[in-house]
Amino acid sequence: MLRNDTAPTPLALLDDPLAYVLAAHFRQRAICAVLRRFATARVAGRVEADRMIAYLVGDLRLHHEDEDIDLYPVLRRRALPADGLGIILARLGEEHRQGTAMADQIVAALAAKPADDEIQIEATLDEMIQAYAACELKHLALENGVVLALARIRLTRADLTTIGRSMKLRRGVVVA
């Protein structure tokens, strides 16, 4: 059964985009736990696998856009040279691209036999899932510990309103 912490991030949090991003990060951690469970058990149920596929091709990509298109550029403009964010944000953007490529491979493997109630996890997929989860967890630690911490200090109320509006539009949420 899919745990509640993998449920979609509440759209009401979009009014506080940093809270939304943080909540999305907690969800990503829970998604990684489910994927790791698949790898360890070497089997995935169809319903859970389809939910992971939906997350990896939908919400994860939206989240990366939130950061790459909205959060990172604004934070890059507001950061002080002493913050050292340029290299960190470039690294995180590259990790998004690498993570998406790995997620695409995981999706392809989980979706390969859509009629199967249970998906057997082969050793190569097990290794890929474990590597993906490990990379994501390190990535999230850096985003939470450095990027979001500095964003809380450096971003203005107007910045946050603009970021939140863009995130809402990306999700089709009516903007007042």
- Pick the closest to residue 102 from 44, 57, 45, 40 (CA basis): 57
Q: What is the pLDDT of residue 4?
A: 62
Helical axes 85-111 vs 123-142, angle rounded to 10°: 150
Confidence of residue 114 (pLDDT cuts 50, 70, 90): confident
The residues near 139 (Cβ < 8 Å, ≥ 6 apart) are: 92, 95, 99
For residues 136-141, average pLDDT: 98
Domain boundaries defined on the chain = 4-170
pLDDT surpassing 90 at residue 18: yes
pLDDT surpassing 60 at residue 39: yes
Beta strand ranges found along 26-79 (DSSP E):
43-45
The CATH fold of domain 4-170: Four Helix Bundle (Hemerythrin (Met), subunit A) (1.20.120)
pLDDT surpassing 50 at residue 167: yes
